[in-house]
Structure 1
């Protein structure tokens, strides 16, 4: 059965895959499902944690056949190499990773028998990447400093991640403008306490009405533009839409309060 492969930003839910002690039919079915999933997605390897399983299992393609590694452990590492890597967890995004050029590892097969394996080159890098997942590691947890910043920028540019900093979204300018006008309306309201002339108060009320319709229009444009902007990011989902709704609702609430008080004191 083909399983769903977890992709960023959804966590795999597995920080550490414990060793397998029971080698039964349920395990064998899962391994076959893992291989079928990798084949269906044209992957060279897959870790059990990438489909949300606690099984300590990795499958990797070697000589056109999948090698099953149960409870794999890297024992020796030698050499350093920089590799440009991709992984299904971060779709359409690559990262420059520091890897060991050669590794030696031990693992078990379906019968619980132990085996050793030496790997170098691309096969070594593939094994390191997949085994990392069993220990809750991925590109974001391993990259540091500028390399991590560059990778996060790539995630945003490729639509694999939805930025959350205010400067990222153009829609934030709408909110800044709305808040600026609300502050002006509040100052206008406060100044009415010091004015008694009816004609000036009437002018102030007209200004408040004009500014309130402006804020209303800005919030409507904000909601529409936010929906358009979110479409550019493949993972923007209901949580972001609810956030937009919350911002608009809060803006309407502030506007309503200011206008109610203005109606009582100015009009």
Structure 2
């Protein structure tokens, strides 16, 4: 079945494709979809991620034969050459890209049988171009900083950053961490009634009230920034709306427990 091609600014281009583990009918359907899409768009090569399939599958056409390369890796690379490349993802952009002239590839076919082959010249370049997609990259990552900036300025929304795949740290986590630190500080005050005078206890209670006000502010900031990040990183499981709501609910319960402690224990 013909599938739509990923086009700029679709951030899925930055997803790193997983290795295929099951060589079953679903894999054969994916390969068929890739080939059908290649024929419909008159393409000589296509990576699975370019039709939204996040697996390391590349199909290359040679004459009238379409060869699938599953879980492909480069094991040997020699020589270098620079040629102009274009991308079906970044429409109307062409740049000079330096790549290996000769490569040795290991891969599996649609039935899971292992193979290796040597590619040279244009065939090697085409394969490397497609393999970039499988690893969350594009040809613009191979140009110098100045050229990359020129491309960035040319595009309506700028280049799709490498961080479009799931980042190691989310900004929203700072708000969540801040809320937890504040509640932890309030909990420390629970031991003070045993050791301080009534005046100090009153001051502690007043400080706790201000801290309690800060917690929901941080929670609201967490919630709305998390929604913003969920639009940026749709592929991340931690960015799903259900997870965000669940985390906010847990923090709300924690806040209620801490607040009850303040009003029924710390309050003079």
Q: Tell me which residue corresponds to 1:192.
A: 193
Matches within 5 A, 1:244-263: 244-263=244-263
Q: Under a length normalisation based on structure 2, what TM-score does the superposition of the two structures give?
A: 0.56
Structure 1: stretches of 5+ with no match in the other structure: 19-26, 106-115, 142-146
Post-superposition CA distance 1:224-262 (Å, at most 9, x none): 12212443x253566313443344334323322322223
Post-superposition CA distance 1:92-147 (Å, at most 9, x none): 6xxx9985414699xxxxxxxxxx997413x32113555x69xxx94369xxxxx9
CA contact (8 A) 1:14 1:49 kept: no
- CA positional deviation for 1:70: 6.1
Q: Distance in 2 between matches of 1:162 and 1:86?
A: 27
Match of 1:165 among 166, 169, 178: 169
Matches within 5 A, 1:1-267: 1-3=1-3, 9=15, 11-14=17-20, 33-40=33-40, 43-46=43-46, 58-60=59-61, 67-69=65-67, 79-81=79-81, 100-102=100-102, 119-121=120-122, 123-128=123-128, 138-139=134-135, 157=161, 160-166=164-170, 169=171, 171-197=172-198, 200-231=200-231, 233-236=232-235, 239-240=238-239, 241-267=241-267
Q: Distance in 2 between matches of 1:129 and 1:17?
A: 25
Task: Indicate how the Cα distance of structure 1 residues 224 and 32 shifts in structure 2: closer, same or farther if over 3 A, else same.
Answer: closer
- CA positional deviation for 1:212: 1.1
* Structure number, greater radius of gyration: 1
- CA positional deviation for 1:215: 0.7
Q: Distance in 1 between matches of 2:128 and 2:196?
A: 74
CA contact (8 A) 1:174 1:222 kept: yes
Cα RMSD after superposing both structures = 5.2
Q: Under a length normalisation based on structure 1, what TM-score does the superposition of the two structures give?
A: 0.56
Task: Indicate how the Cα distance of structure 1 residues 161 and 246 shifts in structure 2: closer, same or farther if over 3 A, else same.
Answer: same
Q: Distance in 1 between matches of 2:203 and 2:230?
A: 40
Q: Distance in 1 between matches of 2:264 and 2:211?
A: 17
Q: Distance in 2 between matches of 1:98 and 1:15?
A: 32
- CA positional deviation for 1:37: 1.0
- Count of matched residue pairs: 222
Task: Indicate how the Cα distance of structure 1 residues 229 and 8 shifts in structure 2: closer, same or farther if over 3 A, else same.
Answer: closer
Structure 2: stretches of 5+ with no match in the other structure: 6-11, 91-95, 106-116, 146-157
CA contact (8 A) 2:80 2:101 kept: yes
CA contact (8 A) 1:17 1:49 kept: no
